[in-house]
Amino acid sequence: MALANFDLPYQQRKRSAAMTRDASLAQNAYSRFLAQQRGSRDLAELDRTKTAGLGRMGAAYGRRGLATSGIFQNAQNEYGSNWLQQKQDINDGLMQALQRLEFADQNAKNQYQQTEADVEAQKQSDILATAASLQQFKPFLGS
Amino acid sequence: MAPPKKNPYPRTPDMVERGQVAKNPTYSSYNDFLAEQIAKGQIGAMDYQQQQPPTQNGGGGTRRSGGGNGVATQAIKTLFDQYNTSQGGDLMALLNNYVNQAQAAGDQAIQNLQQTLTGQQNPFTGQVQAAVVASNPLAKYMQASGVGSDQVDAMQQMLASQAAGAQQAMQNMQNTMSQTWQANQQGRQADAATQQAAFQQALANSQQNAQMQLAQQEQKRKQDLMMQILQMAISRGINLNSLGVKF
């Protein structure tokens, strides 16, 4: 029994599993890059529009002589809360996307490890069964 | 013209064989030739019963081949030598050799699996990245305006709390996966150990079976030889005790 030939189908399965894992990791890395890019762009756009809106809001209240009023103070809190929430939504969205991708990475690695362990266990089982049967000795027993 | 007279003294088989021996320089004697043929199993003991030429009164019958007892004796001794020479010893040594090889191959396979398992790292370990919590974007503006930021601060606290909760939930899920992975790994290790024990038992069983079959083969070989010896001795009227053979 040539060990190299014996090992060949198992190595093929492991290589195939490794390729699937690497493809997943590469895809996840690309998705991670896109998510970060999109998150940064969304944050920048939010800050830009909100900053521009802040000036208009202050001017509008000033024209009406309400610059020091409680209404304007309340409006600032509303505006600030809204801005904050939108920023946090973008942050959370990005964070969750990154976490999902991290988890996808872990799953891909885990999937490979399970396949690797399965293949090794199958190989071990086959070797043990072959060895324990004393297959090479059987011709001498007329069987 | 009268038909040719039938030869009352045809050549007997041993006469024919003697002729072959005379033509073949390989055999130094007729006994050698016979012994080899017997050893090869090409001549059975009963072949030595030869037809006696017809007597004057027309009778016929079998006779023990004259002078053949020496040949038969030699053949019996050859068979007896084979009887006493065990052929199982070499096979038993070969079997032990294969058992040792099988043991080594099995140990190596188990070691490889264990190395693979211990070499794997839990992919679910590690801390989930801390949540990013946005700060009040109007903090400086409101501060400069002398505006209190209670409402925004309350919102920030709530968002921070939610983000921390989401982070913890993710961490919990990962911890669960990590523990599951660990348990799975321990199960695999236990399986490997079980397989190792089963392998030892199966190998021992196979070895025992092979030994028994070899012993049976050897026993049958000896029985066949014994049968051949006895047939030859009986057919030739040879007393085995006189040959000094002991079974």
Complex confidence, ipTM: 0.84
Tokens 């070989």 belong to residue: B221
Neighbours of B222 (CB within 10 A): 17
Which residues of chain A have a CB within 8 Å of the CB of B99? 134
B92 part of contact set with chain A, CB < 8 Å: no
Question: In terms of CA atoms, which chain B residue is nearest residue A84?
Answer: B136
Residue range A64-70: mean pLDDT, rounded: 87
B182 part of contact set with chain A, CB < 8 Å: no
Q: What local confidence, expressed as pLDDT, does residue B92 receive? A: 86
Tokens 């081949």 belong to residue: B65
Whole-number average pLDDT of chain A: 91
- Whether B142 sits inside 8 A of A125 (CB atoms) is no
Q: B115 to each of A120, B120, B188, B241, how far by Cα in Å?
A: 10, 9, 12, 66
pLDDT at A116 over 60: yes
Structure tokens at A75: 């409006």
Core vs surface per residue B27-42: b (16+ CB within 10 A) or e: beebbebbbebbeeee
- Whether A134 sits inside 8 A of B138 (CB atoms) is no
Contact B48, B65 (CB under 8 A): yes
Task: Please list the residues that pair with B62 across neighbouring strands.
Answer: B51
**B136 closest CB neighbour out of A84, A94, A136:** A84
Which residues of chain B have a CB within 8 Å of the CB of A75? none
pLDDT (tens digit per residue) in A2-61: 455 778 889 999 999 999 999 999 999 999 999 999 999 999 999 999 999 988 888 899
User: From CA A93, how far away is CA A35, in angstroms rounded?
Assistant: 9
pLDDT at A142 over 50: yes
Q: What local confidence, expressed as pLDDT, does residue A94 receive? A: 94
Q: What local confidence, expressed as pLDDT, does residue B55 receive? A: 40
- Whether B206 sits inside 8 A of A79 (CB atoms) is no
Question: In terms of CA atoms, which chain B residue is nearest residue A122?
Answer: B113
Q: What local confidence, expressed as pLDDT, does residue B99 receive? A: 93
User: From CA B223, how far away is CA B139, in angstroms rounded?
Assistant: 107
Closest CA–CA distance from residue A139 to any residue of chain B (Å): 11
Closest CA–CA distance from residue B122 to any residue of chain A (Å): 8
Task: Please list the residues that pair with B63 across neighbouring strands.
Answer: B50
B109 part of contact set with chain A, CB < 8 Å: yes
Taking a contact as any Cβ pair under 8 Å apart, which residues of chain B between 212 and 231 contact chain A? 213-214, 217
Tokens 């802040």 belong to residue: A54
Q: What local confidence, expressed as pLDDT, does residue B40 receive? A: 58
Residue range A76-103: mean pLDDT, rounded: 94
> What length does chain B have?
247
Structure tokens at A69: 């009023």
- Whether B206 sits inside 8 A of A91 (CB atoms) is no
- Residue B234 falls in which region: left (phi positive, over 0), alpha (psi -120 to 50) or beta: alpha
Closest CA–CA distance from residue A26 to any residue of chain B (Å): 17
Task: Please list the residues that pair with B61 across neighbouring strands.
Answer: B52
For chain A, the first-to-last Cα distance in angstroms comes to: 18
Q: What local confidence, expressed as pLDDT, does residue B120 receive? A: 96
- Whether A77 sits inside 8 A of B152 (CB atoms) is yes
Compare A123 and B38 and report the one with higher pLDDT. Answer: A123
**B109 closest CB neighbour out of A54, A72, A128:** A128
pLDDT tens across the length of chain B (247 residues): 555 555 555 555 555 555 555 555 555 555 555 555 655 555 544 444 443 334 444 333 344 444 457 888 888 888 888 888 877 778 888 899 999 999 999 999 999 999 999 999 999 998 888 888 999 998 888 888 888 899 999 999 999 999 999 999 999 999 999 999 999 999 999 999 999 999 999 999 999 999 998 888 889 989 999 999 888 888 888 888 887 766 6
What are the start-end ranges of the E strands in chain B? 49-52, 61-64
